[in-house]
Amino acid sequence: MPIIKHNMSHLPLGDHKNAPWYGKDILSVGQFGREDLEYIFAVSHEMHDMVDHIGTFDLLKGKILANLFYEPSTRTSSSFTAAMERLGGSVIPINEVKYSSISKGESLADTVRTLECYADVIVLRHPEIGSAAIAAKAARKPVINAGDGIGEHPTQALLDLFTIVEELGYVDGLTVTMLGDLKYGRTVHSLARLLSLFDVRIRYVAPEILRMPPEIMAELEAKGLPQAEHVTLESILPETDVLYVTRVQKERFEDQAEYESVKGAYVITPEVMRAAKERMIVMHPLPRVGEISPEFDEDPRAAYFRQMEYGLYVRMALLAMVLGKS
């Protein structure tokens, strides 16, 4: 049996400066069309095979990633680190911003200009919407948005869509139900936008005060995406192919009493899931804080742990692409 699957055509060994994503920033899912997604997922798939068969591969040997996190993160930060290291590169981690010059009042633009002197690519998570675009403007090197406040989280949306493709095999024709905090959850903002490239139906289930922002719904409406809002999950669960559950974003609430009033609004349990199809998946960007009962974890439809792993392959692909190695 060959060690590497046939047709490894996406990973040239030399620098590939004419590659479509060489040197580009990744700021919003609006940058991607269906062909881009096919390309990213083909590379991600090869990365998966490569990790399964070899584990690491020196495609990005000598390249350095600056991982700049102004907000907490477990998965995004560590999967970018793992992605870089599995490809032979290395990482400057800045997640304790209180120990960096940021705590002395340095601007985001200056911090980014500093890091690009030492690194080849910058991954940024920041509490303010639009911060990734500001950083990208200041930097000559590629900036990857790892979440800008309640704005976007494009690499998460890519890994979410890759999960759907890998788990269900197709996207067109699916009913995707988004549940929970659709107002402050940046992952659903990005995923809904990305799904508008496909022939899908989106259903939103949220407490009144956490509904999908009307401007995002209007944007998707203009693209002809069928959307509908529901108050209860029961009415829509039986026809759902992808149930995308989110955490109520406690840190975004000004009024903590308001958070308390909605925090336990929906809980996925084995009992609730009895009404769902046998062939469907439950996703969650994680962390979860009570909205999916651990009792459901053993169900084959629980895709949220596999989803994290897919994230590694997608981030490996993205790093290889912007660094001219794919």
Instruction: Give the residues lining the site for ligand NCD (CB under 6 A).
Output: 75-76, 147, 153, 156, 186-187, 247, 249, 285-286
**Given the complex with ligand NCD, which of 120 and 148 has the nearer CB atom?**
148
In the beta sheet, which residues pair with residue 60?
none
**Residue 310 Cβ vs ligand NCD, minimum distance, rounded to whole Å:** 12
**Given the complex with ligand NCD, which of 75 and 230 has the nearer CB atom?**
75
**Given the complex with ligand NCD, which of 81 and 326 has the nearer CB atom?**
81
**Residue 153 Cβ vs ligand NCD, minimum distance, rounded to whole Å:** 5
**Residue 51 Cβ vs ligand NCD, minimum distance, rounded to whole Å:** 20
What is the phi/psi pair of residue 83, to 5°?
-60, -45
257-295 CB burial, b ≥16 within 10 A, e <16: eebeebbebbebeeebbeebeeebbbbbbbebeebbeee
CB 178 within 8 A of CB 210: no
What is the phi/psi pair of residue 35, to 5°?
-65, -35
DSSP class per residue in 218-256: HHHHHTT--EEEES-STTTGGG-SEEEE----GGG-S-H
**Given the complex with ligand NCD, which of 77 and 326 has the nearer CB atom?**
77
Query: Measured on CA atoms in the order 231, 232, 235, 241, is the torsion positive or negative?
Result: positive
Find, among 298, 32, 311, the residue nearest to 163 by Cα. 311
- 212: tokens are 């999908």
In the beta sheet, which residues pair with residue 86?
none
**Residue 305 Cβ vs ligand NCD, minimum distance, rounded to whole Å:** 12
What is the phi/psi pair of residue 22, to 5°?
-60, 125
In the beta sheet, which residues pair with residue 179?
205, 245
Q: ∠ CA 126-156-228 to the nearest 5 degrees?
A: 105
- 181: tokens are 């905090």
Tell me the C-alpha distance between 287 and 174, whole Å: 25
Q: Order the strands of the 242-245 sheet from edge to edge.
A: 227-230, 201-205, 175-179, 242-245, 281-283
